[in-house]
Amino acid sequence: MLRALVLALVAANAAFFVWSRGWVDGVTGLKASGDREPQRLAQQVHPEHVVLMGQQALAALKQTACVALGPLDGDAALASARNALLRAGLPAETYQLLAGQSSGVWAVATIRLDNKDFQARKEETYQHMHIPYEYLSGLPSEMPSLVLSRYASEKAADAELAQLTRRALKGLRVLQLQAPAARSSLVFGQADGLLQARLHNLKDAPLAATLHDCSVDEASFSAAAAAPAASSGAAASGPARPASGPAPKQG
């Protein structure tokens, strides 16, 4: 009897030792550490940085604003942005797509000036007539050429070409420097402080850097839509960029 009691006590102690080490937590369903979770405490990263928010800070987080990511040029950029938001837990239902189109850039330029003497004569002529020009860049197949002016519509460039032709200037053409392209923004109409922080901290840093007030999009898309009608005499600013388009017109 005494021997059986001793064996029972040894078995009980061994069982308690195994359980107290947490080796059978998954089997018994009873954690040796009880309701405490020291492993989670050990996984904390800089817990000293945790600060309780005051009422003023909490109120600021609850304030909402209309913010947007973009503008995004082209379908590839839009698809990439949507994937980045999805990875951040922000599906398509959380924002609206504001789509538009950027205006193209057309230039009145010379034909290719492969002959150095011919190029020098052209430069001398334009300097004598006080016509500003710059060297074309970004389109190797059309270089060397001189760009006299840039426009946001082909119609405006055609009008300028016709005017220069009437001034007896030859060897000029209309050249497309940048094709019109799809442009879009992803709009968060009522973004609170927490959502704005998530957008600022997107893993796609270049995309996060495009976060801005929604009014910027409304103004840019309105300007792009009005550009073809209002650009009959206005030059479009910006450097030459390679783009596909129709064959140059010569005049």
DSSP state of 137: -
Is 72 a residue whose pLDDT tops 70? Answer: yes
217, 187 in Cβ contact below 8 A? yes
pLDDT of residue 73: 87
Name the residue with higher pLDDT: 209 or 243. 209
Supply φ then ψ for residue 2, to 5 degrees.
-65, -35
Average pLDDT, the chain: 80
Paired with 34 in beta bridges are none
pTM for the whole thing? 0.49
Among 105, 174, 160, 173, CA closest to 131: 160
Amino acid 94 reads T
pLDDT digit string (tens) for 171-212?
A: 999 999 988 888 899 999 999 999 999 999 999 999 999 999
Supply φ then ψ for residue 177, to 5 degrees.
-95, -30
Name the residue with higher pLDDT: 219 or 102. 102
pLDDT of residue 150: 95
